[in-house]
Structure 1
């Protein structure tokens, strides 16, 4: 197991930007190099920035092994994982603000704008000038779309590369299909169970059902950071634990389609400017993707899939 260090920060862009943006900086004391890459990590819907920790553990472990045997070495300075303002620690810090103006729809552009302001330094709380860093964007699903859209704002972040993990891109034909997975995900989020007597009880149910195929490290992090103690503003009279990202906000996030369309329209431009790699699961259970699909005709410049 690698020795991964971390520090937590909160970006404050108020009054121009009303939502606080939590982030966590990760680095390895013996592997970090000033001329190395700075990874910018964005999570998927219903998740949070800490979900990236097992990936970072494994990545720095591989970097350490490569260094010890004299093999090719990728230099990574550090990684910054950023919460969407209605997810993870962001949901806690913005709990009251999110109840007005961010329901019933939370725009995917909002996560993009939060990341853009964070990287551009349009606020306080982050002691880094990212304009001087060698940035690599790494996003999953919702987070992948957000990172693509950050470059539609000025000044556009200068990414040396991007890795988009199952980006939630949809075409016009897909959106018109009543069976589109986004509809299912929205409906499932709105009606899902969201109160449990304890974290232990929640973990037992998660492990047996919804998240039984997850890496145990990710499941432990989800129980720790994806749940919060009751009572809350949503449930002022309940005890136990509930979702950190409320099911109202999760459904509101899935309900937005504009961000996904905007990202698809901009994707070819993004890929032409930023060397981009896409990663898709072998099972097309939400968005069906194949090299012959219309999606890839929009993004011929993707380096690898």
Structure 2
């Protein structure tokens, strides 16, 4: 059997259009400094607060390819690293996203890393210390990461548990950045810009979100994310009534509990009733 390899064009992973991102603090400058020394980065924050958008924005700003992996509990080391495949021409080695990123000098973003099994995340260790290498045991190859390669991981600390957490041996290989929902004025600006609604409507949506976030741990597992506010604003901008838009995007996705839904709907009616 013949063995062939896939050749990847790094340009397909370049972000050509600037993603909209509203700075909250010094995160852009801090990340640029971390990338300058190729420090692996760990970004922590609640669902829908802008972690992935920030990574996309930084990849665009730095002009580097970005390869994103949505981690899940069924993901194996081979899904990250690669595997041999059989086709009509024989046996072909197919690089996984982590291997591709290491070869071409991309930023590899592992989203919600804690969802992956711990035996899977161990494969990233050699790439996150002085070695900056990735052993392909099945292929008998040791890849030295491209000088531009950087590894970024993210997760939501609110969903941490003993079964879903990173080992200290993994955590202490990364620099860390904490993300949270933006301050009110910035979040209003984001919602208005991203959804197309007027500032007054965006302010009302943000106020509803603030009330809901106070219920986290008191009936809600997670507060209303900035992402959901944008969804709601987009529907309103398309002519959907605010009550219907908010119910569809800010109430129904969050909870199935009738009492909690009544509480959230009451908050919506306070501003749009």
How does the TM-score come out when normalised to structure 1? 0.27
Give the structure with the larger helix fraction.
Answer: 2
How does the TM-score come out when normalised to structure 2? 0.29
Larger Rg, first or second structure (1 or 2): 2
